[in-house]
């Protein structure tokens, strides 16, 4: 299965970028909001939690400070 990053304008996917890690969005509302804000996808907050948690974000967009 190929993972695609859901960040705005990001073309990273697990097939073409084998050295990049991909992470599911957190289920916790506060952390999820932080991640969505960081990747410019606050529009996803309108989706169901089940849909949001299936999305992936590549490690290029994450910093240690928001993953703890």
Which residues pair with residue 13 across a beta bridge? Answer: 4
61 near 39, Cβ under 8 Å?
A: yes
Of 26, 14, 17, which Cα lies nearest the Cα of 55? 26
Task: Please report which confidence band the pLDDT of residue 56 belongs to, taking 50, 70 and 90 as the band edges.
Answer: very high
Taking only the tens place, the pLDDT of each residue in 12-27 is 999 999 999 999 998 8
pTM score of the predicted model: 0.79
pLDDT of residue 42: 92
pLDDT of residue 63: 62
Task: Please report which confidence band the pLDDT of residue 68 belongs to, taking 50, 70 and 90 as the band edges.
Answer: very low
Tell me the domain boundaries of the chain.
1-68
pLDDT of residue 58: 93
């Amino acid at each position: 299965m190929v993972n695609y990053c859901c960040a705005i304008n990001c073309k990273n996917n697990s097939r073409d970028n084998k050295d990049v890690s991909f992470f599911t969005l957190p289920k916790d509302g506060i952390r999820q909001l932080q991640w969505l804000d960081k990747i410019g996808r606050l529009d996803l907050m309108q989706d169901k939690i089940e849909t949001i948690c299936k999305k992936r974000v590549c490690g290029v967009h994450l910093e240690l400070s928001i993953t703890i």
